[in-house]
Chains A and B, each alone.
Chain A
């Protein structure tokens, strides 16, 4: 019996050992390195920077959080970011639903496969390039102005527009998956009982696909909350939470305060995830 064979025989009799070996490296990497980094980030949020030397001082205080809650500027930025996230989510849901509905219920299996690829491929095309293309299109003599005779220019509208564009596929795909699972017989039963399109949609289709919509909203929400580049590219002067984090790491060199601000999107996401847990949306991811 060769060494390899005896090793594999030994391992075969010890499933726990095999599992331990399989899990050790991924757990060390993600559990120690990544979770450790996240934990360290929240610890750092309670420290502060020496205004004279710029070094991080490891003294515990709630000063950063006090600034975050009391300073008008940060409150405005937090609510602006939340507002943008809500607007983007609603816009994406409204655009995505009819697209997903046609894909799931009317397209042939072959067309479905092609359409899924067609929706998904641009999802992976560079984020930056897509945001940039909206800068080009929204400019004074760009495509949007040429088509519609006017352009919203750079600002809040452009930010919402661009972010909605960027995250649209993240909304289409879960809704498509949800509608694909919805049995046609239920829709037919509703029409047999006299329900017209709108009534069937409101009373049958929408309640059953709601978890899928919520699943999509998790992405549009999370991605918007953390964004700062789109605002830089098409947002004019307005800022989002991400910009505050970025500026505090770079220009202001205040890592502790950046860490404090970064807890805001995390807390919002955790609250949101806890709130939608009961809809079963998390199983739709």
Chain B
């Protein structure tokens, strides 16, 4: 590049500053979870692990964690199956309406979350007459998680090409054997990455969950929202917030390492 040295340093400064702004709020949350002062004035006055201990014994938190895990695992399982099927169909075949189908897959995440949430809420309650519960939340989460798995598998299929599968067929293996011994092993890490990202997405989702989870149930983000404005819960909220940061960024980091072909994991 033939840009001046000065431009380069200005841009570097902008990047460093930008990254600092991105990370400072996350560090503030992590710091606050071990801040001994309950009002969180800055700078922190002391260090304590007391809130972590309290959060670990808080029944509401543990119940919410369990609901989050159930919803995340079930939605991920559904998304893995449907996302993989859709990826094979769209990557390996040409057919009428292909563009419409791919638009349909990104729609649940391209539309504002509140639209997806209220559409499903309305469909369950008014149209189908189903009571909201864990099941309806799982259906909703699976709907917007499909795209994450889909993107990962499509990227891998595109990179893989079809030569190895053809070679396997030429050597006499049938379709099922080829899938089992050739295609699936090459897809495995893409599926794992997609699954991790789908789980992270489900674990963090709040808007759609608010509209589709039955009364009396809470996921971790909903627990936080419900307790956010209760001053005496603030320290425990901070610990749960810190846990959420760690829990949701680790799978994303792992997914990145697993699949070099994932540009951003599905939201983009």
Contact = CB atoms under 8 A, between A and B. Distances in A.
B22 A102 contact: no
B126 A169 contact: no
B144 to A, nearest CB: 9
Contacts of A188: 1-2
B42 A5 contact: no
Contacts, number: 288
B111 A126 contact: no
Given A37-B123, A126-B204, A120 B265 contact: yes
A267 to B, nearest CB: 11
Contacts of B248: 124-126
Interface in B222-268: 224-225, 228, 237, 241, 244-245, 248-249, 251-253, 256, 263-265, 267-268
A102 B12 contact: yes
Contacts of B53: none
Contacts of B160: none
Nearest to A200: B3
A19 B93 contact: yes
Contact of A245 (B12, B29, B114, B265): B114
A127 interface: yes
A219 B267 CA distance: 9
B118 A266 contact: no
A149 interface: no
Interface residues of B, number: 94
Nearest to B222: A128
B57 interface: no
Contacts of A187: 1-3
Contacts of A133: 25-26, 28-29, 241
A98 interface: yes
Contacts of A266: 111-112, 115
Contact of A165 (B21, B40, B143, B264): B21
B167 to A, nearest CB: 15
B86 interface: yes
B206 to A, nearest CB: 5
Contacts of A227: 112, 114
B174 A40 contact: no
Nearest to B124: A37
Contacts of B120: 34, 37
A242 B112 contact: yes
A26 B85 contact: yes
Contact of A40 (B122, B139, B228): B122
Contact of B43 (A123, A146, A191, A226): A146
A265 B122 contact: no
Interface in B87-132: 88-89, 93, 95, 101, 104-108, 110-116, 118-123, 125-127
B26 A125 contact: yes
Contacts of B221: 126-128
A258 B126 CA distance: 13
A25 interface: yes
A133 B28 CA distance: 7
A178 interface: no
B240 to A, nearest CB: 9
A106 interface: yes
A249 B201 CA distance: 24
B82 interface: yes
Nearest to A106: B8
Interface string B8-21: 10111011001101
Interface of A: 4-5, 7-9, 11-12, 15, 18-19, 22-23, 25-27, 29-31, 33-38, 40-41, 44, 56, 95-96, 98-99, 101-103, 105-106, 115, 117-130, 132-137, 139, 141-143, 145-146, 165, 168-170, 172-174, 177, 184, 187-188, 191-192, 197, 200, 218-219, 222-223, 225-229, 233, 242, 245-246, 249, 255, 258-259, 262, 265-266, 269, 285
28 contacts: A9-B175, A22-B86, A22-B89, A26-B86, A29-B142, A33-B139, A37-B122, A56-B126, A98-B18, A106-B12, A126-B241, A130-B25, A130-B26, A133-B29, A143-B42, A168-B22, A173-B268, A187-B1, A187-B3, A197-B4, A218-B110, A222-B112, A223-B112, A228-B114, A242-B114, A249-B118, A258-B118, A262-B118
By Cβ-Cβ distance, the 9 closest A-B pairs, closest first, are: A226-B112, A8-B175, A37-B123, A98-B14, A133-B25, A141-B41, A191-B2, A22-B89, A26-B86
